[in-house]
């Protein structure tokens, strides 16, 4: 019987079908839009995402030849996004996404009410527009009719589980990303819910990752052409599922995930809530692996900048990719130099992530001349994202978190150029697992645990995990990038005020 890890990201969903010993059998994917109806807004139609996810499930099972034999489905989902739903589980408005930055006013009010450091120590989450809490406050203040009439407020995990089974449930992992979860008591925070005037019955019940939420309803199983009704399992935040899927089952192991956003996660035995991590705006939350926590850095623009660059400037490469069957990104970066780009970019296309969390920061490119090329620009994107990665790693290390190796997952882990660049700029070895879609594997392992296949989902992952290659820093490259990094650290302070005035 097969296991499916359904990975619901910000710009696309993927259904990865695994055997009962976590061998990847087949996958299917769909892309969907992020809508920007107003400046600082980022929304999405969750009902459309649901329909595309169903297509992925059917196609993935068919490709893998297991349509009639799926035993369980686990969920890996983008974090923080929230939507009100009616009594039938249908969204009453667009999902407000994590990358949405409209809630500056709500965050100012939260700081006044609770204090930023007190909120961090209570929830593990720094005050930021990414969080679910200020989004709910915005809904309450700006759409009171919807706020009052909604049956529930759901994130993508509980929204999908409700669709699958008729009852919502959310993993403690994803719940702890909302800023409404008391990280020490491991429940919805009574203090914060009281401030929201929100009854906890209007949120999904919290379950451990890998919890059996029941079987898929019969009508849906028939629609998807499944011969059986698979168990539906809680999974968690996509980054924490990815951490499980690349073997972060012991304290101190670290991963870098490059998808729509770029994230570093380090596994911890206890939640470190020290001042360095607080001042660096790092988030600390429950891992999908039992008994562990993770600390996370965030660059929410991440790989989304490459997609923007592809869509806006690379029509010829996209057409060539369609005709040849090659990957458009490979064509864009073909024959790229190993030298730093002559251009210096600030990758704050959706504000800055950690450590500054400046929602008014914007992208910038320095060094443009008539000699600048499209490849220079594409390479500048990779350089900038990786120097931002180094900046965050240094703060984690200053906060007492030891990192000896990065395990790379996500779409960016398919690029040998980018993996070597990560090693050269950070000075750390970068290991590329054989299965780079680790979030899907982590979710599938949790599904197998829920269905009774695995007693320990981490052991199941580690038995299957294979490292394809380890990229080690090249000393000559490291020196060149050290010099460029010193320039990079001056870039944000130099343009900060100009970006704010813009």
pLDDT band at 354 (very low <50, low <70, confident <90, very high): very high
Q: Which pLDDT does position 117 carry in this prediction?
A: 96
**3-state DSSP assignment of residue 348:** coil
Average pLDDT over residues 92-115: 95
Q: When comparing pLDDT for 319 and 410, which is higher?
A: 319
Nearest to 420 by CA among 358, 355, 476: 476
Q: What is the pLDDT of residue 259?
A: 80
Whether 350 shows a pLDDT value over 90: the answer reads no
Task: Report the chain's terminal Cα–Cα distance, integer Å.
Answer: 56
What pLDDT was estimated at residue 67?
65
Tens digits of residue pLDDT in 15-58: 999 998 999 999 999 999 999 999 889 999 999 999 999 999 99
State both tokens at 74.
């686990």
Tell me the backbone φ, ψ of residue 392, rounded to 5 degrees. Answer: -70, -40
Listed range (146-160, 201-215, 254-268, 363-377) with the worst mean pLDDT = 254-268
Structure confidence at residue 336 (pLDDT): 79
Determine the pLDDT at residue 413. Answer: 82
Structure tokens at 331: 């064509």
Q: How far, in Å, CA of 291 to CA of 305, rounded?
A: 35
Domains, in order of start, for the chain: 2-245 (3.30.420.40)
- What confidence tens digit (pLDDT) does each residue in 224-280 have? 999 889 999 999 999 999 999 999 999 888 999 888 789 999 999 999 899 999 999
Average pLDDT score over the chain: 94
* Overall pTM > 0.85: yes
Task: Please report the pLDDT score of residue 227 as a whole number.
Answer: 84
Cβ contacts of residue 179 below 8 Å, gap of 6+? 119, 123, 125, 127, 131, 132, 133, 134, 192
Please give the Cα distance from 499 to 354 (Å, whole number): 17
pLDDT of residue 15: 97
Question: How many whole angstroms separate alpha carbon 7 and alpha carbon 4?
Answer: 9
Rounded-to-integer distance, Cα 301 and Cα 132, Å: 18
pLDDT at 435 over 90: no
Spatial distance between the Cα atoms of 454 and 441, rounded to a whole number of angstroms:
13
Q: Considering only 76-90, 212-226, 280-294, 405-419, which range has the smallest mean pLDDT?
A: 405-419
Gap between the Cα atoms of 181 and 188, Å rounded: 4
pLDDT in tens, 320-340: 988 888 888 888 888 777 789
């Amino acid at each position: 019987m097969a296991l499916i890890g359904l990975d619901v990201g910000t710009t696309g969903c993927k259904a990865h079908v695994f055997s009962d010993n976590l061998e990847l059998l087949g996958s299917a994917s769909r892309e969907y839009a992020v809508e920007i109806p107003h400046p600082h807004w980022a929304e999405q139609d969750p009902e459309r995402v649901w329909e595309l996810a169903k297509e992925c499930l059917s196609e993935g099972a068919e490709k893998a030849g297991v349509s009639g034999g799926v035993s369980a489905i686990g969920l890996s989902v983008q974090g923080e996004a929230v939507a009100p739903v009616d009594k039938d589980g249908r969204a009453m408005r667009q999902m407000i996404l994590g990358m949405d930055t409209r809630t500056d006013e709500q965050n100012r009010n939260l700081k006044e009410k609770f204090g930023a450091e007190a909120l961090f120590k209570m929830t593990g989450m720094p005050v930021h527009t990414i969080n679910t809490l200020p989004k709910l406050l915005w809904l309450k203040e700006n759409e009171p009719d919807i706020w009052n009439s909604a049956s529930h407020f759901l994130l993508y995990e509980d929204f999908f589980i409700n669709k699958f089974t008729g009852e919502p449930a959310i993993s403690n992992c994803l719940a702890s990303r909302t800023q409404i979860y008391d990280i020490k008591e491991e429940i919805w925070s009574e203090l914060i819910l009281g401030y929201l005037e929100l009854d906890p019955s209007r949120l999904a019940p919290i379950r451990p990752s890998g919890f059996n939420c029941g079987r898929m309803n019969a009508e849906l199983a028939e629609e998807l052409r499944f011969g059986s009704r698979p168990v539906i399992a809680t999974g968690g935040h996509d980054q924490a599922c990815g951490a499980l899927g690349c073997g972060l089952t012991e304290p101190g192991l670290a991963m870098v995930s490059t998808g729509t956003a770029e994230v570093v996660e380090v596994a911890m035995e206890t939640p470190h809530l020290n001042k360095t991590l607080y001042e660096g705006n790092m988030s600390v939350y429950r891992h999908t692996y039992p008994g562990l926590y993770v600390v996370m850095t965030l660059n929410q623009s991440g790989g989304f900048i490459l997609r923007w660059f592809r869509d806006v400037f690379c029509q010829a490469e996209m057409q060539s990719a369609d005709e040849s069957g090659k990957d458009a990104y490979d064509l864009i970066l073909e024959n790229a130099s190993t030298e730093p780009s002559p251009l210096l970019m600030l990758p704050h296309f959706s504000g800055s992530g950690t450590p500054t969390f400046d929602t008014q920061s914007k992208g910038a490119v320095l060094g443009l001349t008539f000699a600048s090329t499209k490849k220079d620009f594409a390479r500048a994107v990779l350089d900038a994202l990786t120097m931002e990665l180094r900046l965050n790693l240094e703060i984690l290390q200053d906060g007492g978190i030891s990192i000896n190796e990065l395990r790379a997952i996500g779409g960016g882990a398919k690029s040998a150029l980018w993996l070597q660049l990560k090693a050269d700029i950070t000075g750390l070895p970068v290991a590329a697992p054989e299965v780079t879609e680790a979030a899907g594997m982590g979710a599938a392992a949790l599904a197998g645990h829920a269905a009774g296949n695995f007693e320990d989902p981490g052991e199941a992952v580690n038995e299957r995990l294979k490292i394809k290659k380890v990229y080690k820093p090249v000393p000559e490259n490291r020196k060149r990038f050290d010099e460029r990094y010193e320039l990079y650290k001056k870039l944000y302070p130099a343009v900060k005020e100009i970006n704010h005035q813009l």
